[in-house]
Structure formats: C-alpha cells, structure tokens
Amino acid sequence: ALIGVLTQRVRMLVQRIEELTLYSVPARLARFLIAQGNDPSLSGSGITRAAIAAHLATTPETISRVLRSMEESGAIRVDRHRIVIVDESILRDIAML
C-alpha cells in the first residue's frame, strides 16, 4: 500500500512539472479553470488571484493580465470575485486540449 501511495505521488509531481515546463501561463490558467468544474478544491469565496498565481507558479499581475485577455476573447466573464466560463471551446483552445 505504501508503494502504491508513493507511486501516485511521484506521478502527480511528474505531471505537475510537465505542466509548468511545457505550457504557457494562459494554457495553465485555462486548464485550471476547466478543471475547477470537476474539482472545485481551489474555488469559492476565499480564492484570490494570488492563490491562483501561487498554484500556477506565476504572479498575480500575470493572472490579472491573462484573465483580461481571456475575457476579451469571449472565453470567460469576470464578475467581481467570480470567473464564469462563457465559451468552453475557446478556453479549451487556449488550454491546448
């Protein structure tokens, strides 16, 4: 059982490293937003741009800039402290899925 748990953790870390090295910030943010529909562990009223930035290994300013860009493209809408996915197909294109 211990080996199984360690194997799962190593796979998760390898996947995380691949995401950080292979994908741009817009792609990582788009993947994050899509994943929130399935696993809302980092969503809710307490989530901040700083927390998202820390999760994605970037800065809050970069997150704000990318969110603005995604909003201009019509993929999302930012309502105060909520991010609403308007067109998931555009978001999937950004995420390279």
Work out the pLDDT band at 97, boundaries 50, 70, 90: confident
DSSP E strand boundaries for the chain = 76-79, 82-85
Question: What is the predicted pLDDT for the residue at 38?
Answer: 67
User: Which among 28, 34, 77 is positioned nearest to 54, based on CA atoms?
Assistant: 28
pTM of the model: 0.80
Which tens digits make up the pLDDT trace of 21-52? 899 999 999 999 998 876 665 556 667 899 99
From the CB of residue 75, how many other CB atoms can be counted at a distance below 10 Å? 23
Give the pLDDT of residue 11.
96
The encoded tokens of residue 70 equal 């995604």
Exposure letters 10-23 (e unless 16+ CB within 10 A, then b): eeeeeeeeeeeeeb
Where is pLDDT greater, at 61 or 83? 61
Higher per-residue confidence, 46 vs 71: 71
